[in-house]
Amino acid sequence: MPPKKGINWRLWSKVLIGGTVLSVGGPAFTYWVTPTEDELRSRYNPDLRKRSLEQREERQQEFDDFVTRLKDYSRSDKPIWVVVKEEEERRKQALLEQGRTQQRDAEARREEMRREAGLDAK
């Protein structure tokens, strides 16, 4: 039986050092190269910067609302796309009902104005 080969320590040390450099250095390099939000805004022209700052809170609020809705949807036992579709249907129905109510109110106001003006209809 031939003698057993020893461990190639030089090769394994290169592999471990290279792996460590890649796994630690890659994300560190990405973090170092990626500009912050303020650095990006400083490169905008003044009009865009002003508009971006004005709409910042609105976008943050929209995102917070979106995350809150997702959390609510995830509490259900149903798949999230089914819950979202049901919620969209509920919103559509609510908007339709609101439109009908507004139409009825407008018609009632019109009738009242006609009566006050002496133009009784039928």
Predicted confidence (pLDDT) per residue in 94-106, tens digit: 999 999 999 999 9
Residue 122 pLDDT: 53
Q: Is the pLDDT of residue 48 over 90?
A: no
Residue 121 pLDDT: 53
> Phi-psi bin for 7: left (phi > 0), alpha (psi -120 to 50), beta?
beta
pTM of the model: 0.46
Q: Whole-angstrom Cα distance, residue 5 to residue 79? A: 57
Phi, psi for 8 (deg, rounded to 5): -85, 85
